[in-house]
């Protein structure tokens, strides 16, 4: 019998898509494929993103000249691919399409008929909506990527949800070229959902966007037993779900379902081509199987090509993605989707399935309730804790007491760390008890760690509650969490008494405070200079008072109006705003007087402004708000505790203003280096002294040292309180 050959066309519209001809070749080499039938593959790759319409039209025309009997279109899954319907309309029928889910109703409107291996957007939307109803959700938030491969599924879901009683909100995931802008908008959506206490979410997006959303939701503590997410993405192997295996979150995914195992032909084909079992690979194999089954059916016919065109829409077989058969609209018939739930092993596990025309069926043992579940690591454990008192992290309640080394009842203490443990206990399902200790954080002595660090290493305690700062040497044996708080140092000074009048604290010469002594000296020198200038002008200028008196134009006594004494009186009178009795007559005298008046105008305005600011503060200490101001103020003494890390730093650094502080402390060691912290607080309370203290003292001031205040924002913030 003569061999029968026909052409099968493959049009690749996407990028990096699995090779179709390798799958078809593997099928032809199988034992059950007719030896008399030879399939010749005619492959055409079209750059739909950048090629012009005339170029694409010419390429399609060349492809039609090949006289193919069936066309397989490997459609573009990329977010930025253009509409390919005009290409599909020009290709030879029948067309087997492998691509993202589309709305078949819209294809019919534009007269495009394809056989889709992938479930249509209508089918997938129906599966999602019926699953939501099966779970009994009354409200949910739908995150959707409008430009992704699943955007038509989102449109169909919205249409179905509008006809149901379930309340839903839509949140569009932006398709931004700037990843930061994309994540910023996503952060806003997640925060608003969390603030509304929303527990149910439907995510319609491609695998890359789905992974991003889940990662951000995890950071917002929205992947835990209280939350349930449904993912529309069928590419389960591309989803990064393993890291969420211990969160307890209900995470539902769908997969094209087959009741039978994968056939050996499929497995052998992709092992030899070194391709992975992705959704696109399995769909390509089923598309090749459609062509091969049609070839088997038409093997005995005289016109094989005509038989294949007739048989392709009628094929039915068990493929790698389930039962493959096409309805009148070109969609998959008898479609089944496996419903899977994320397991503690990090892999989706079977919990039910969705059948077109039947609906959702869940296994009896499947549990989708949102009761609090225990953490698989800490759940049910009883933890032994060591705690050291440190305000505000761990403090004893007023009137309560506990013995060191003995279990302390929870009702006896308070603070940030006990509250944190209570919250974790509810979330993770463990219990705990705590013993108080006087141990320090610990150091390495002769190769062994002592203190609280040693207790953790030697497993004498499961957890330590202590507000310790980070040190690089401890990273040898301890693993730090994210910082609980950022620490630093503060300037503590005496609180101003706002009931005092300015005159109660001001001296007799306080009116001089608005100007520096140098400025006052300059003003005095200006008074003398102007007076002397007027005196000499009066003597030398014939048109001044003295010259006029000599010529008999004025009285003889008026000739003495600008002698040295009268000139000083004139200058002083103008300075204090009283004016002069006799103004200069000559032009030179008037120039000097006018210049003096302008100088007085500027000086008085500056003095008045500075005086108002000076009178508005009741105490000079309010001038200090930063470390730089403290170092520059020569009148206020300051100091710090001898064991602070800051002291070692300022004595060895070259950075300003710490270098100046170190020099001052070295020169005034008797008052600047304090033996106890209480001594620093006492000196600050006496006044005119600034105590540089650690962050913990800001809580102490609120209760015990009410006459002290923090004069600065924290500085030298090199310490972080963390958990171990």
- pLDDT tens for 134-150 read 888 888 999 988 776 78
**Are 56 and 88 members of one domain?**
yes
Write the pLDDT tens digit of every residue in 53-71.
Answer: 777 777 777 777 777 888 8
The span from the CA of 464 to the CA of 377, in Å, is: 18
Domain membership flag for residue 657 = yes
Highest average pLDDT, of 81-85, 101-105, 222-226, comes from 222-226
Q: Which of 615, 631, 648 is the last residue of a domain?
A: 615
Mean pLDDT of 42-52: 75
DSSP letters for 307-325: HHHHHGGG-EEEETTEEEE
**Are 240 and 355 members of one domain?**
yes
Write the pLDDT tens digit of every residue in 409-432.
Answer: 888 888 888 888 888 887 777 788
Mean pLDDT of 336-365: 83
**Are 474 and 410 members of one domain?**
yes
Domain membership flag for residue 369 = no
Domain membership flag for residue 493 = no
Q: Is the pLDDT of residue 283 over 90?
A: no
The span from the CA of 470 to the CA of 567, in Å, is: 73
Residue 273 is predicted with a pLDDT of: 45
Q: Record the tokens describing residue 45, joined without a space.
A: 């790759």
Domain membership flag for residue 497 = no
Alpha-carbon dihedral sign for residues 649, 650, 653, 658: positive
Pairing state between β 336-342 and 382-387: unpaired
Contact predicate 168/140, CB 8 Å: yes
Q: Which residues pair with 324 in a beta bridge?
A: 317
Mean pLDDT of 391-396: 82
Q: Is 709 known to sit in a ligand binding site?
A: no
Per-residue pLDDT band at 16 (split at 50, 70, 90)? very low
Residue 582 is predicted with a pLDDT of: 77
Share of the chain above pLDDT 70, in %: 80
Write the pLDDT tens digit of every residue in 655-698.
Answer: 888 888 889 988 888 888 888 888 888 888 888 888 888 777 76
Write the pLDDT tens digit of every residue in 429-448.
Answer: 778 899 888 888 888 888 88
**Are 452 and 400 members of one domain?**
yes
Closest CA to 637 of 624, 650, 646, 648: 624
- The residues, any chain, with a CB within 8 Å of residue 251's CB and separated by 6 or more, are 223, 228, 229, 231, 241, 244, 341, 342, 348
Write the pLDDT tens digit of every residue in 228-278.
Answer: 999 998 888 888 888 887 777 888 999 886 544 444 444 444 444 444 557
Q: Is 474 known to sit in a ligand binding site?
A: yes
Contact predicate 85/114, CB 8 Å: no
Highest average pLDDT, of 72-81, 193-202, 632-641, comes from 193-202
Domain membership flag for residue 410 = yes
Per-residue pLDDT band at 612 (split at 50, 70, 90)? confident
Residue 106 is predicted with a pLDDT of: 60
C-alpha dihedral (295, 300, 304, 310), degrees to nearest 10: -70
**Are 252 and 279 members of one domain?**
no
The span from the CA of 493 to the CA of 707, in Å, is: 9
Domain membership flag for residue 455 = yes
Residue 546 is predicted with a pLDDT of: 81
**Are 347 and 231 members of one domain?**
yes
Alpha-carbon dihedral sign for residues 115, 117, 123, 125: negative
pTM for the predicted model, two decimal places: 0.52
**Are 240 and 342 members of one domain?**
yes
The span from the CA of 545 to the CA of 681, in Å, is: 69
Length of the chain counted residue by residue: 724
CA–CA distance from 484 to each of 466, 619, 700, 721, 722 (Å)? 12, 37, 20, 5, 5
Residue 277 is predicted with a pLDDT of: 59
Domain membership flag for residue 30 = yes
Q: Is the pLDDT of residue 600 over 70?
A: yes
Residue 125 is predicted with a pLDDT of: 92
Domain membership flag for residue 656 = yes
In the block, tokens 């600065």 appear at 712
**Are 346 and 202 members of one domain?**
yes
**CA 11 to chain CA centroid, nearest Å:** 43
Comparing 239-248, 369-378, 385-394, which segment has the lowest mean pLDDT?
369-378
Contact predicate 254/354, CB 8 Å: yes
Per-residue pLDDT band at 501 (split at 50, 70, 90)? low
Q: Record the tokens describing residue 527, joined without a space.
A: 């008074």
Residue 461 is predicted with a pLDDT of: 87
Mean pLDDT of 115-131: 90
Closest CA to 264 of 26, 37, 17: 26
**Are 251 and 151 members of one domain?**
yes
CATH of residue 561's domain is 1.10.287.70
**Are 349 and 393 members of one domain?**
no
Q: Which of 479, 497, 525 is the last residue of a domain?
A: 479
CATH of residue 252's domain is 3.40.50.2300
Q: Which of 615, 647, 662 is the last residue of a domain?
A: 615
Provide the number of structural domains found in the chain.
Answer: 5
**Are 240 and 350 members of one domain?**
yes
Mean pLDDT of 41-55: 75
In the block, tokens 């008999």 appear at 552
CATH of residue 417's domain is 3.40.190.10
**Coil/strand/helix, residue 721:** strand
Q: Record the tokens describing residue 519, joined without a space.
A: 């400025």
Residue 267 is predicted with a pLDDT of: 46
Long-range contacts of 467-475 (CB under 8 A, 24+ apart): 467/390, 467/393, 467/394, 467/417, 467/696, 467/721, 468/441, 468/721, 468/722, 468/724, 469/719, 469/720, 469/721, 470/719, 470/720, 470/722, 473/444, 474/441
Q: Mean pLDDT, the chain, as a whole number?
A: 79
**Are 348 and 416 members of one domain?**
no
Angle at CA of residue 205, ends 201 and 209, nearest 5°: 100
The domain containing residue 267 runs over which residues? Answer: 4-119+260-330
Residue 201 is predicted with a pLDDT of: 94
**62 or 498: which carries more pLDDT confidence?**
62
Q: State the DSSP code for 276.
A: -
The span from the CA of 210 to the CA of 186, in Å, is: 12
**Coil/strand/helix, residue 43:** strand
The span from the CA of 455 to the CA of 452, in Å, is: 5
Q: Record the tokens describing residue 108, joined without a space.
A: 């019919």
**217 or 505: which carries more pLDDT confidence?**
217
Closest CA to 143 of 244, 71, 217: 217
Per-residue pLDDT band at 405 (split at 50, 70, 90)? confident
Q: How many of the other CB atoms lie within 10 Å of CB of 223?
A: 21
Per-residue pLDDT band at 701 (split at 50, 70, 90)? confident
Residue 19 is predicted with a pLDDT of: 55
Per-residue pLDDT band at 497 (split at 50, 70, 90)? low
Q: Which residues pair with 517 in a beta bridge?
A: none
Residue 105 is predicted with a pLDDT of: 67
- The residues, any chain, with a CB within 8 Å of residue 699's CB and separated by 6 or more, are 391, 392
C-alpha dihedral (273, 276, 280, 281), degrees to nearest 10: 40
**285 or 376: which carries more pLDDT confidence?**
285
């Amino acid at each position: 019998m003569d061999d029968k050959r026909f052409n099968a066309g493959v049009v690749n519209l996407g990028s990096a898509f699995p090779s179709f001809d390798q799958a078809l070749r593997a099928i032809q080499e199988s034992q059950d494929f007719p030896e008399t039938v030879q399939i010749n593959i005619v492959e055409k790759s079209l750059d739909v993103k950048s090629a012009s319409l005339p170029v694409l039209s010419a390429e399609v025309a060349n492809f039609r000249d090949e006289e193919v009997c069936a066309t397989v279109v490997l459609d573009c899954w990329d977010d930025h691919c253009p509409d390919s319907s005009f290409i599909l309309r020009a290709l030879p029928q029948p067309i087997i399409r492998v691509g993202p889910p589309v709305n078949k109703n819209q294809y019919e409107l534009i007269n495009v008929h394809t056989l889709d291996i992938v479930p249509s957007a209508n089918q997938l939307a129906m599966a999602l909506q019926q699953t939501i109803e099966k779970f009994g959700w009354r409200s949910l938030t739908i995150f959707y990527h409008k430009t992704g491969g699943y955007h038509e599924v989102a449109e169909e879901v919205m249409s179905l949800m509008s006809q149901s009683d379930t309340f839903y909100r839509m949140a569009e995931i932006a398709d931004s070229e700037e990843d930061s802008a994309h994540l910023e908008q996503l952060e806003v959506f997640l925060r608003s959902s969390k603030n509304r206490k929303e527990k149910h979410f439907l995510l319609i997006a491609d695998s890359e966007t789905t992974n991003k959303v889940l990662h951000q939701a995890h950071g917002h503590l929205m992947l835990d037993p209280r939350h349930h997410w449904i993912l529309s993405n069928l590419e389960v192997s591309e989803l990064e779900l393993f890291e969420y295996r211990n969160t307890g979150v209900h995470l539902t995914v769908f997969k094209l379902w087959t009741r039978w195992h994968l056939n050996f032909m499929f497995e052998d084909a992709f092992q030899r081509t070194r391709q992975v079992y992705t959704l696109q690979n399995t769909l390509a194999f089923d598309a090749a199987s459609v062509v091969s089954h049609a070839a088997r059916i038409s093997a005995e016919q005289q016109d094989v090509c005509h038989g294949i065109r007739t048989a392709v829409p009628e094929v039915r077989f068990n493929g790698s993605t389930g039962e493959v058969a096409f309805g009148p609209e070109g969609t998959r018939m008898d479609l089944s989707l496996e419903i899977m739930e994320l397991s503690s092993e990090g892999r989706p596990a079977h919990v039910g399935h969705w059948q077109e025309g039947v609906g959702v069926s869940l296994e009896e043992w499947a549990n989708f309730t949102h009761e609090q579940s225990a953490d698989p690591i800490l759940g049910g454990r009883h933890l032994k804790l060591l705690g050291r008192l440190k305000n505000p992290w761990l403090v004893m309640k007023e009137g309560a007491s506990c013995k060191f080394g003995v279990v302390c009842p929870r009702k006896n203490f308070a603070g940030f760390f006990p509250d944190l443990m209570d919250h974790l206990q509810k979330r993770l399902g463990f219990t705990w008890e705590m013993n108080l200790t006087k141990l320090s954080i610990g150091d390495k002595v002769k190769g062994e760690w002592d203190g609280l660090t040693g207790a953790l290493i030697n497993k004498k305690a499961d957890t330590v509650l202590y507000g310790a700062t980070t040190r690089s040497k401890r990273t040898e044996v301890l693993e730090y969490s994210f910082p609980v708080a950022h620490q630093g140092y503060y300037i503590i000074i005496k609180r101003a008494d706002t009931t005092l009048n300015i005159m109660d604290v001001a001296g007799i010469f306080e009116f001089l405070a608005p100007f520096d002594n140098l400025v006052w000296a300059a003003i005095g020198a200006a008074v003398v200079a102007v007076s002397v200038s007027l005196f000499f002008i009066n003597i030398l200028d014939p048109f001044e008072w003295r010259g006029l008196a000599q010529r008999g134009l004025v009285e003889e006594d008026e000739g003495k109006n600008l002698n040295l004494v009268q000139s000083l009186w004139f200058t002083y009178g103008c300075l204090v705003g009283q004016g002069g009795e006799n103004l200069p007559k000559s032009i030179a005298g008037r120039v000097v007087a006018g210049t003096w008046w302008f100088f007085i105008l500027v000086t008085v305005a500056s003095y008045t402004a500075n005086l108002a600011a000076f009178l508005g503060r009741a105490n000079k200490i309010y001038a200090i708000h930063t470390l730089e101001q403290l170092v520059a103020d020569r009148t206020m003494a300051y100091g710090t505790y001898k064991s602070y890390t800051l002291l070692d730093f300022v004595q060895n650094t070259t950075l300003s203003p710490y270098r100046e502080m170190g020099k001052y402390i070295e020169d005034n060691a008797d008052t600047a280096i304090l033996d106890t912290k209480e001594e620093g607080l006492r000196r600050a309370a006496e006044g005119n002294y600034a105590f540089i203290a650690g962050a913990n003292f800001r809580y102490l001031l609120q209760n015990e040292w009410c006459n002290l205040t923090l004069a600065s924002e924290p500085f030298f913030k090199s310490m972080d309180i963390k958990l171990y």
